[in-house]
Structure 1
Amino acid sequence: MSGPAIWAAFGTASLAALAYGFLYSWRGEGPARALLKVSGILILAGIAYAVGGPWMLWSALLASAMGDLFLAGKPERWLLPGMAAFFLAHVFYVVLFWQLVEGGGWSWPVKTAQAALVLSGVLYIRWLVPWIKAKMRVPVILYGAVILMMGAAAIALPSVYWLVTVGALMFIASDSILAHQLFCRPADAPPNKAASYAVWFLYFFGQAAITFGLIGLIGLPA
């Protein structure tokens, strides 16, 4: 896969993500919506595979695409399978990032940033729990734990992976907003377009940043 082909594929993925974000992120159902939602992440997975990126990277992207497919349906029916798919994606990222941490910084600023992330995440989850139905509380807590592990691992990466760290933090921000929308927003409330845009664009471009932050170091073909 040549360099121009890679950038053309990324452009196509971005266009699909923009189309989904502005047309469907806050409304609608159906196969067209689901196809548009998963296509951008699937293209990123294809790029990662085509250039010889780490298998855990494209596996995480494929798991994320599966999560997107589940969450394109009715949340009350498909939320748990969607969370399970994203949980798997984060497991891949945690293992991959910790493999890359060797040679990274364990300075006090890194440790402080990790502690701040984990503490704020724990406090947010604790605040969120009373809003969550009893049967969903354990899955949400487990999911929160794995995404905080992913973020802590990303923060510890060597500075050359700064784009990966930014992408991971964007992913966490997206999920934080989504959790508030899913569990705290009244069911009869009108759609919150701004929140829906933030959830989707932070998620997609966060995944894109993780992807290119990793494969860019391989040396893309001309």
Structure 2
Amino acid sequence: MTLQTGIILASMALGGLYGVALCWRPHSLFKLVVKTGSTALLALWAYLLGGPVLLVAGLALSSLGDFFLEADEGDRFLLPGMGAFFAAHIAYIALFWALPQADRSVLNLAAQIGLIASGVVFIRWLAPSVTKEMRLPVILYGGIILMMGAAALRLEPAYLPVLLGALMFIASDVILSFQLFVRPADAPRLALPSIALWFLYYGGQALIAWGVLGNLA
């Protein structure tokens, strides 16, 4: 077994453990280590396989965001976490623009417009549930992740795993926004939405990495 294979298997093991046993449970140091470790190992795997700097940066910044969001049960580190993910999406946008692009088509343009329009409607619906202090960060974050998704929609068919990963990432953030802003702050986390959120997020990151690295071979 190569080092790279061992690292991705360890990442998947930690990601699976977090998803099936930890993601809805209260904060703990063990939970923090498992969650952050699973995504940090994805970044290390991409780096060791010679992945583009922007891919490694996107994965590493996402892992930093995971650390902040899991470091406290309250919202003390919510803004730093959002900032890390915001920077990760900038790295992904730059990466996707540098990858081979599909020929422009009416279908492609319609998909981009549909994604952005749906996102704008959702953010507008979500805004009243968000505190005034968080409203602008949420709007800015929503805008950057929609740009990331639109950039992924421009990729050649060979990068379909990257597109699926980007859309899964967006779907995970939709669930997260419900958990953070719509559900009462004192409500316990429900297992099923938390499991769906995690596997959409982790699976999305893994697909983005796999899709980019697979096309480098």
Which amino acid is the alignment partner of residue 33 of structure 1? K
Q: The residue matched to 2:76 in structure 1 has which SS? A: helix
CA distance in 1, matches of 2:178, 2:61: 23
Q: SS of the residue aligned with 1:76?
A: coil
In structure 2, stretches of 5+ residues that fail to align are none
Indicate the residue corresponding to 1:174 in structure 2.
172
The residue aligned with 2:215 is 217
- Aligned ranges 1:54-133 → 2 under 5 Å: 54-72=52-70, 73-101=72-100, 103-133=101-131
Moved more, 14-23 or 197-206: 14-23
* Alpha-carbon displacement from aligned partner over 1:64-110 (angstroms, at most 9, x marks no partner): 11100000122411110000000000000011101115x42311111
Worse overlay, 65-74 or 21-30: 21-30
State the alpha-carbon separation in 1 of the partners of residues 163 and 10 from structure 2.
Answer: 24
SS at match of 1:57: helix
Could you list the runs of 5+ residues in structure 1 that have no partner in the other structure? none
Q: TM-score scaled to structure 1, two decimals?
A: 0.94
Take 1:133 and 1:96, find their aligned partners in 2: how far apart are those partners? 33
| Cα pair distance change 1:75/1:110, threshold 3 Å | farther
RMSD of the alignment, in Å?
Answer: 1.2
Alignment partners' CA distance in 2, 1:6 and 1:89? 23
Q: Which moved more, 1:75-84 or 1:147-156?
A: 75-84
Q: Which amino acid aligns with 1:129?
A: A
Instruction: Write the letter of the residue equivalent to 2:92.
Output: Y
Residue 154 of structure 2 corresponds to which residue in structure 1? 156
Which is bigger in relative contact order (C-alpha 8 A, separation at least 6)? 1
Contact 2:43-2:60 within 8 A present in 1 as well: yes
Matching of residues 18-57 of structure 1 within 5 Å: 18-57=16-55
Cα-to-partner distance string for 1:143-170 (whole Å, 9 max, x where unaligned): 0000000000001101110000000000
Distance in 2, Cα, partners of 1:115 & 1:7:
39
CA–CA distance in structure 1, aligned partners of residues 105 and 79 of structure 2? 38
Cα distance in 2 for partners of 1:41, 1:91 equals: 18
Instruction: Report the alpha carbon displacement of residue 173 of structure 1 after superposing the two structures with TM.
Output: 0.2
1:20 & 1:28 partners in 2: Cα distance?
Answer: 12
Q: How many residues align?
A: 216
Specify the alignment match of 1:183 in structure 2. 181
2-structure distance, mates of 1:28, 1:129? 27
Alpha-carbon distance, 1:189 to partner: 2.4
> 1:20, CA displacement in angstroms?
1.0
How many Å apart are 1:218 and its aligned residue? Answer: 1.6
Q: Distance in 2 between matches of 1:186 and 1:158?
A: 42
How far off is 1:26 after superposition?
A: 0.8
Preserved contact between residue 26 and residue 73 of structure 2 (Cα < 8 Å): no
CA distance in 2, matches of 1:161, 1:190: 38
Matched residues in 2 for 1:64 and 1:75: separation? 19
User: What displacement does 1:11 show?
Assistant: 1.8
